[in-house]
Amino acid sequence: MTPGENGPSTPEDDDPFGYLYADGQARGAQPPSGGYGYPNSVSRVRAVGERQYGQPQPQYGQPTIPQQQGAYGQPTAAYQAPETLPGGAPPSGPRTAPPAPGRRGPNTKGLLIGAIAVVAAVVIGISVAMLNGNEDKKTDNQANTTPTQSQSQGPSPSGSSSAVSASMKSDAGALTPAGGASKASDVKGASSSDGSYVTGLNQPGASLTWTVNVPSDGPYTMFVYYSVTGEDQSMSVIVNGTPFGGKLGLRNWRDAKDGDFANGWTRSYVWPTLKKGSNTISISCGAGDKCNALISNVTLKPGQVTKDT
C-alpha cells in the first residue's frame, strides 16, 4: 500500500452499510455476521427495494425469484376461481331462503270449523232466549214457586171472572151462607152475574161454603171478589175440614171510606191444595178475624197464579 491510497477495503470499512449498495458490493462489502450484536439473532439483509412483503422469503444467499405480476384486472397466481373449487360455482340466479323445517301454514280447516261452531252456538243461544221469552209471556200470570198462604191483590175490573170455566167459579147465588150470613144485592158494583153478594159475615161463626169439582190433585188458586171499607180485614179459610195455613187478606185497595161498599170492590187470593173430584172450601169469621166484608163470588184456577184471566 502506498501513501495516499486507501486501498480497496477502506470505503466499506468506513461505511458499515456499504454492503447495501451495488458499488459497495462490487468492492466486496459483506454484511456483519453477528445480527447486530444480539445473541442467536439471524440477519436477513436485503438490498433496498428487494424485499417483497407478503411473499415467502428465500434463505440468505439464495437467489430471489421476483413475483410475477399479472396484468391489471387479471387474477394473480394465488387466485382460484369458484368454479375450480369442489362442487363448482354457485348458481347465478337470485338466492331464496330455504323454508324453515317443520313449519306449516295456518290450519284453515280448523279455523273454519271453529267459526262454524261459534256461529252455531250464537244461533242456539238466540233461539233459547226467544223460546224463554215466549214461555215468560205464556206464564206471566204465575207466581213464584214458594207458596204464599194468602195474598191480597189490588183492584180488578168488575166481571173479570167471565173467562173462568163455569165449573170452576161460583157466584154468591151458588154459595151457602151460614152462622148469620145471608145474600143481598143492595150494594152496586158486585162482580157476580146477578149483582148479588154474601153479607152479614161480620160476626163470629159466620161463613160461606163452596163445593167445587177439580180435574186433578195439586195446587190451585182461589180468587175471592169482595168489598171492604175503612180498615183492612181478614178471614179464615177451611179446605175439606182442615184450616188453611193462613188468613184470607181483605185489604182496602180502593181506599173506600167507612160504609161506602159500592166503591170498595176488589179481589184477593189464596193457594189451597185440592184433591181430584169434589172439594169443600169455607170462608168464615174465626177468632181474631176482622170480617166486615161483602163477598160476591169465588173462582178457581189450576196452579199458583196471580191473575184470573
* pLDDT (0 to 100) of residue 147: 37
Instruction: With a cut of 80, say whether residue 193 has pLDDT above it.
Output: yes
Mean pLDDT of all residues in 268-288: 96
User: Does residue 306 or residue 73 have the better pLDDT?
Assistant: 306
Q: Which domains are present in the chain?
A: 1-51 (no CATH), 150-302 (2.60.120.260)
**Residue 60 pLDDT grade (very low, low, confident, very high; cuts 50, 70, 90):** low
User: Does residue 275 or residue 159 have the better pLDDT?
Assistant: 275
**Residue 228 pLDDT grade (very low, low, confident, very high; cuts 50, 70, 90):** very high
* pLDDT (0 to 100) of residue 22: 76
Instruction: With a cut of 50, say whether residue 165 has pLDDT above it.
Output: no
Q: What CA–CA distance (Å, rounded) separates 138 from 140?
A: 6
**Residue 80 pLDDT grade (very low, low, confident, very high; cuts 50, 70, 90):** low
- With contact defined as beta carbons under 8 Å apart, do 208 and 202 qualify? no
**Residue 157 pLDDT grade (very low, low, confident, very high; cuts 50, 70, 90):** very low
Q: What percent of the chain has pLDDT over 90?
A: 43
Mean pLDDT of all residues in 17-27: 73
Q: Share the mean pLDDT of the chain.
A: 75
* pLDDT (0 to 100) of residue 308: 81
* pLDDT (0 to 100) of residue 259: 95
Range in 30-34, 174-178, 233-237, 249-253 the model is least confident about: 30-34
**Residue 115 pLDDT grade (very low, low, confident, very high; cuts 50, 70, 90):** confident
Place of cell 440477519: 43
* pLDDT (0 to 100) of residue 124: 86
Amino acid at 224: V
Nearest to 285 by CA among 277, 293, 276: 293
* pLDDT (0 to 100) of residue 12: 46
